[in-house]
Structure formats: C-alpha cells, structure tokens
Chain A
C-alpha cells in the first residue's frame, strides 16, 4: 500500500510549511495550496485521501471548498479537517451536513494534528 496523500490548504505560508513537514516526516505525500481555488483544482487533479483546510482564505473559503467538493461524486467522500484561528468556524448542523471530520483550532500541536488525521483515515477505512 502506497503513502497516503494529504492536501494542506492555508494562506499562511509558515503554517503550510510546518504541517507539510510534519506529515512528510511521517510518511505522507503532501500537496499544498495557499487559496481555496487552487485547493479545489488540486483536489480534482490529485484526489487526495484527506484534506486539511483553513477557514478564511483568499478566493474560496474553506467551507465553500468543502461545499463544492461534496457536489462532485469522486471527491464527495474525501474526509476534511478544518484548522482555523476563528473561535467559531462552523455550526454543528453545518458540520454534519458537510460531513466535516474534525474542526480544530489554532494554535495547534503538529503531533496532535497527525494523530487526528490518522484517526480520521482509520475511521474512513472502516466505513
């Protein structure tokens, strides 16, 4: 079985860099985007196994990105984790409707983020 592919979308270059390094160091293939539109294009081209996205980004927001993904059959089931500095990124009913796996807040621990991703991937494999 090959490496899992993860897409990291955030307009803060340092956040993208540190998350990418953490996942590369732990055997993931990492692709990155600094805005919602590029993230969507990459999803279509690369079909990642999981996505970590910021909430507020130039162009499409994280939520708009997820909404768009859920409309495309081959991308609709990709698990998504939102990583945001906003205190209230998403309501519970919206989280359920968009099938957001986790909503984590910044500042964050790369170690814990890795654990969350592995957990989400394990759960999606069971389903």
Chain B
C-alpha cells in the first residue's frame, strides 16, 4: 500500500510538472493559474482542462487579431491623411502655377522659360510675336527650332552652364527693315540639389528708349553747335574790337552790329527751346483774341522777303483779304507762319519760289494756311516724323543747320494751343507744302485758356 501511495503521489507530481510545462507557452499564465488549472483538472477532469486551454488560446488569438486590425486602421488613417495633404499640395501648386502664368501672360515683355535641355516650357504672347512661333504649339520644342537669334540661345546656354543667377545683356533683333533693341535679363532656376533645372529669359523692348536717348544726344549736340556758332562770332568780333583791329569807325560799327545780331540769334534759339518747354508743360501765357489769319500771313511773308532775297528766292503771297478771323494768340500764330516760311527759304535752292496762301474752307469751317516751296523735298518715309521734336531730315542736313525745333514749335502752337491741325506733303527734288488749319471764329467757343 505504501508503494501504491508513493506511486500515486509521484504520478500526480509528474502530471503537475507536465501541466506546468504545457501551460508555459501561454503568455501571461501565472503559477497560481497553473495550480488552479490543476485543481480544476482535479475537480473537472481532463475535459475541463482542455476547454480552459483552448479558451486561453482563443483569447490570445483574438487579442492578436485585434492588434493587427488596430495597426491596419492606424495605417489606413495615416494614408487617408497623407492623401489629403497631397491633394492640398497639388491644389496649392496648381494655384501657384496659375498665378505665375497670369503674371507672365499679362506683362508686355517677352518671357521664355526653358528646361535643362533648352526645351520651351513656358512663353507668353509677346515672346511668340517676337520670335514668330505659336505659343501653345511650341511647348517642349527645343529652342533651336523656335528662336532664330543665335546670340540669345548662346546666352541661355552659357548662363545655364556657368550657373550664373542673373545676367543682363542688350540684344538687337532684325524685324523687317527695322532693328529692335531689347534689354535681356537671363536668370537660372535651381532645384533642391542646387542644380540648374531651367532658365528664364525676360526681354524688354528698349527700342523707343534708345531712340529717345539718341534724339536727346543729337539735340544736345545740335543745340550746343547752334549756341556756339553765334557765340563764336560774338567772342571773335569782341576780341578784334578790344585789340584795336577794327581800323575805322565804320568797321567798328559793323562789328558792333554783328555782335548785336548774333546775340539776338542766340536769344531766339533759347526762346524757341523755352517756348516748346512752356507749351508742353502748360505754363505758357496765351492771349487769344479775334484775329485775321490773312493779315498775320501777309506780315510774316513781308518779314522773310529780305532773307529770301539773299538767295534770290521769290515769295508770292496769294492771300485774299476776306473775313477769316480765328480766335488765336496773334504772336504765336505769327511765330508759326515765320517758322514755316524760314524753313521754306532754308531748304529752297537759290532762284527758287515760295507761294503763301490763306483761305477759308466754309465746308470744314476752318482757315487753311499753306506754304509751298520749290525746295529739296522730304523723303516719304520721313514725313510722319517731320514734326517730332529734334527730328531732322538727314539728307537735308547739308542745306541748312538747325536744331529740329522749329516745326515742333509750329505743331505745339497750332495743335496744342489752338486745337488746329498741321499737315505736310512733299516730293523729293520738287518741293514741299507745309500748312495748318485753324477753326473759324464762329465755330469756336470763346473763353480764357
């Protein structure tokens, strides 16, 4: 019996150990639970133990599945957030692109954006117009195909290779018979690795600025020449008088007279410049009254007759004295007529003829003054610019010196001050017809300007 009691005890002990070993893989099973399990086995038998173990395993599996599900949900949620961010980023990028395009398409400068392979990725209409390509159809085409200017292509290439942030050059492009000058700014675009991924070229048309600058330079040159010529006479004759080189009283008087006339010439030039400046700035004092154009023309023709006689030029005044009153500043209109007549004398060769006329055009309700000469004439292509300030007909420079101010002053007086109109027709070698129209007094509402 002792043996059998010991045997049973040993068997129970082995069983417990086996149970413990069996229970060990179950994570989280404590010794107490194992002992309880044994107790339960003891109480409920092997079936109960099995059920317990399976339940434990089921719970563990459910927990594991729940963890997996939770992880996947978190991942899915992260993906949804990422997708939302991406969409926002995309919208932002699209908006920025639209802003950039709106800026580029609305400016008048030509803008060309190229990628790292010199293919066009953006351009506006002025760029298409300048290089004669269709902007929409030109995308991703190589610059080689689109732009004829070798200089611009070279600049873009060298900027990209040298990685220069900004370069500025003046480029000239031939457009028909004209040459256009552009101020060209080339800037590199850099990626995140600081590599050049594109080039922006902005071309600003400075043709007009260059012309104005040239005209100003020419003006300064002409004006200084015009100032120096009478000044040269004044200083030379003064020195001769001071040095006693004028032998007799008659010579001295002649010298005084020359000095006086040259000083007046200088003054007239300064007055011309100032008058234009005053009219342009609206500061000139205008004294308008009812005046007869015919009388002004007749007086002016009389004044230039002696000057014309030096070249044996006949001045014929065909003006009939009729009622041709205009509401005008007499001195200013007189100045305009004298300027036109002086020009006619200047540019008409010896023995020529100048015909002056002033007539009333009832149908247009204007007085029309015309001055026709048998002079050098003006090439047709230069006629539109003839009234511009400082403009001079190059071919006629040899006939006479001048500042290019006289005709501009006429235009300012007639059009800006008197609401009239200047006009010109001309044939090279045959002569020119300069003139102007002023509204008849009856059609003008009188008032103080």
Contacts and interface: CB of A to CB of B under 8 A. Distances in A.
B232 A108 contact: yes
B30 interface: no
Contacts of B235: 107-109
B225 A18 contact: no
A111 B399 CA distance: 31
A58 to B, nearest CB: 5
A59 interface: yes
A14 interface: yes
Contacts of B243: 111
Tell me the dominant secondary structure on chain A's binding face. Answer: loop
B239 A110 contact: yes
Interface residues of B, dominant DSSP = helix
B120 to A, nearest CB: 45
B382 interface: no
A87 interface: yes
Interface residues of B, number: 23
Interface string B208-245: 00000000000001001100110111111101100101
Contacts of B397: 56
Given A85-B225, A107-B234, A21 B401 contact: no
Interface residues of A, number: 24
A107 B42 CA distance: 139
Nearest to A14: B233
Contacts of B262: 14
A99 B250 CA distance: 41
A86 interface: yes
B394 interface: no
A14 B224 CA distance: 18
B445 interface: no
A57 B221 CA distance: 16
A4 interface: no
A21 B252 CA distance: 13
Interface in A47-89: 56-59, 61, 85-87
B243 to A, nearest CB: 7
A111 B229 contact: no
A110 B233 contact: no
Given A18-B233, A21-B245, A25-B245, A111 B225 contact: no
A14 B230 CA distance: 9
Interface string B330-357: 0000000000000000000000000000
B237 A106 contact: no
A95 interface: no
B351 to A, nearest CB: 16
Given A15-B233, A86-B221, A106-B231, A111 B401 contact: no
A14 B236 CA distance: 10
Contacts of A25: 245
B398 interface: yes
Contacts of B245: 21-22, 25, 110
Q: Which 10 residue pairs of A and B lie closest in terms of their CB atoms, listed nearest first?
A: A106-B232, A85-B228, A107-B232, A107-B235, A14-B233, A18-B236, A85-B225, A107-B231, A106-B228, A58-B398
Interface of A: 11-12, 14-15, 18-19, 21-22, 25, 56-59, 61, 85-87, 105-111
Given A19-B236, A109-B236, 4 more contacts: A12-B229, A58-B400, A106-B232, A108-B232
